[in-house]
Structure 1
Amino acid sequence: MTTQPIRLLLIEDNPGDARLIQETLRDAPVNVELEHADSLKKGFALLDEWRFDAVLLDLSLPDSHGLGTVSRTRQQAPELPIVVLTGLNDETTALQAMREGAQDYLIKGHVDSALLLRAIRYAIERNRMQSALHALSLLDDLTGIYNRRGFMTLAEHQMKLARRRLVGFYLIFIDLDGMKLINDQYGHPAGDRALIATAQLLSDTFRGSDVVARMGGDEFAVVTTEANGHGPAPIIARLETAVCRYNAQHPADPPLSISCGAVFFDPEQEVPLENLIEEADRIMYENKRAKAACR
């Protein structure tokens, strides 16, 4: 059985230190694939393009110096463990680097292949455990999709990506109509099933790369780039078709009905995420009132 290689990104501007790390990892008893960048900017470009298991990071680079290098890298790749490699034998700096998000801190010239590999493996495993615990706090207990905290975290990250790539997205706010009536007439278990069904419809309608969340109660939200250039109408229509199909397939259950409001995030505009949510919520309620008036 072939062991998957460990893919590492080394961000180090000193050619001698980079060569030493490469030679040290060459002696490792496992397959290690190492990419090297000599600046933070080049490292970020590689992080955008390739998948890595961990980052080996020097603190003194041509375009970044000190502990800010760690925090900038964490912002760029929050899911990756960072092992700091530095010539500074300073416990205070080491502790501060860990507070900034590094998983470990190693001194150049004092590292052999066994120590370096062990640090990398532990960093990957600790990061995996932390990510699993973090994910639990970001998921809605009832529906299994993201909760409000998860939505805010991932949507903020999507905004940063959008600004960097100059590609906007739509934020869609969705309300499950008549939730109180469902609870009153059919009972709270039926209300829970309606929420679970709505979450599943959203997950099935939107792409895996979109952010789908239950914001609380009967309110849901989605961040999607799918509708770019076409407006949100086609994807909302597809969602409403999925709701109609669900109702036809589950005639014994309370029928589902949704109201939606969508706003576009322009990456060239400095608009806070909370403002986008409030505007999408306002549009959703306007559409809900218009729907009720037509009945």
Structure 2
Amino acid sequence: MEENALRILLVEDNPGDVRLIRELLAAEDTSFVISAADRLALGLQQFADQTFDLVLLDLFLPDSMGLDALRQFRATAPSVPVIVLTGLNDERLAIQAVRDGAQDYLVKGQIDGRQITRAIRYARERHRMMLEVRDQSLTDELTGLYNRRGFVALAQEMVKRAAGTGPGSGLVVTFIDLDGMKHINDRFGHKAGDRALIRTGEVLRSAFRISDVIARLGGDEFVSITAGVEKSDIDALRLRLANALAAHNRQAAGEPELLLSLGFAYYDPATGSPRSIDELIAEADAAMYLDKNNRKKARA
């Protein structure tokens, strides 16, 4: 496969249409590598096993009729653009397909190689721009972590997925406050304050797992949610954070020392009553303030 070839999954049960699409794309200058599946289930399986840049999807398959196939692909891989292929020139269906996440709607028999190639190129660019806008609305510009909106959306989904999955399905919400932010701004300047927030984000990334969701809620407040843990794992998490913070401070020559206050809230969906993510954040926030006050007393 050429290094820059576009990898396309064609989900189409008509061998004649598969052959036609291959011929149309082969006639163009752009390099395409096409994998075909004649059932929705086979297409989804290929998608799980391989990496694709775009999906060309027939809406009428032996195991799926209408927009359900599109919805399943969008749910499985929202980061990959989908172009709908159909024999029906139905404007209402086309509009609904776009509303459901398709980047384009092409009618078989009414397209040539140049048109389908252009549709693929435009679909990929539109989808890239859409993802950029989405990511910007969910991430904190300064630290690159999620913002409150992004955190709540992803954390709610994690709580939902964990419900009823049995032992070991617990979640920990960790609330983190960067202590002394006003002192850093007043003594070292606001640029140093911004760097302190960025550095805190780096500490958190190094302490938490890739699968954990970390966010800056605003100001000097951060939060994370960790899934698949027991309550006893909180001590290990606290130690990882302490070690990551100490290692960072040792290496951050010339920068103000970072100090963090921590609070934890544990939820076991298998045994506890339903909890909202806002409730868990509030509980962890209260525990963080207790930690902050206790450390102030210890320093006094």
TM class by smaller structure: 0.7 to 0.9
TM, length-normalised to structure 1: 0.80
Deviations 1:114-158 (A, max 9, x none): 221221111111111222222222221222222122223444566
RMSD: 3.6
Per the alignment, residue 256 of structure 2 pairs with: 253
Q: Does 1:100 align with 2:100?
A: yes
Could you say which residue in structure 2 is the equivalent of 1:175?
176
Q: CA deviation at 1:292?
A: 3.2
Residues 138 and 107 of structure 1: CA distance in aligned 2, closer, same or farther (over 3 Å)? same
Structure 1 residue aligned with 2:216:
214
Distance in 1, Cα, partners of 2:58 & 2:160: 24
Structure 2 gap segments, 5+ residues each: none
For residue 233 of structure 2, give the secondary structure of its aligned residue in structure 1: coil
- What's the counterpart of residue 32 of structure 1? 32
**Contact 1:171 1:280 (8 Å CA) reproduced:** no
1:129 aligns with 2:129: yes
Amino acid at match of 1:196: I
Query: Contact conserved, 2:262 with 2:291, CA < 8 A, in 1?
Result: no
1:227–1:129: structure 2 CA closer, same or farther, 3 Å change rule? same
Compared with structure 1, are the counterparts of its residues 17 and 264 closer, same or farther at alpha carbon in structure 2 (3 Å cutoff)? farther
1:239 to 235, 238, 241: 241
Tell me by how many angstroms 1:66 deviates: 2.0
Shifted more, 67-76 versus 106-115: the winner is 67-76
Whole-angstrom distance in 1 between the partners of 2:209 and 2:91 = 45
Partner residue in 2 for 1:54: 54
From the superposition, tell whether residues 223 and 52 of structure 1 become closer, same or farther in structure 2 (CA, over 3 Å).
Answer: farther
- Output the CA distance in 2 between the equivalents of 1:102 and 1:242: 43
Question: Does the CA contact (< 8 Å) of 2:173 and 2:223 recur in 1?
Answer: yes
The one-letter code sitting in structure 2 at the alignment partner of 1:289 is L
Query: Conserved in 2, the CA contact under 8 Å of 1:170 and 1:232?
Result: no
Structure 1 residues 253 and 58, CA gap change in structure 2 (3 angstroms):
same
- SS of equivalent residue, structure 1 residue 133: helix
- Bigger mean CA deviation after superposition, 93-102 or 141-150: 141-150
With 131-140 and 207-216 compared, the bigger mean Cα shift is at 207-216
Task: Report the alpha carbon displacement of residue 230 of structure 1 after superposing the two structures with TM.
Answer: 8.3
1:243-265: CA deviation from partner (whole Å, max 9, x where unpaired): 12334445862541230425467
Please say which of residues 120-129 and 9-18 is displaced more in the overlay.
9-18
**Counterpart residue identity of residue 221, structure 1:** V
User: Which amino acid is the alignment partner of residue 150 of structure 1?
Assistant: G
1:5 to partner: Cα distance: 0.9
Shift of the alpha carbon at 1:170? 4.2
SS in 2 for 1:80: coil
Are 2:181 and 2:220, in contact at CA under 8 Å, matched by a contact in 1? no
Structure 1 window deviating more from structure 2 (106-115 vs 18-27): it is 18-27
Q: Structure 1 residues 169, 68: CA separation in 2 closer, same or farther (over 3 Å shift)?
A: farther
The sequence identity of aligned pairs, in percent, is: 38
Q: Which amino acid aligns with 1:231?
A: D
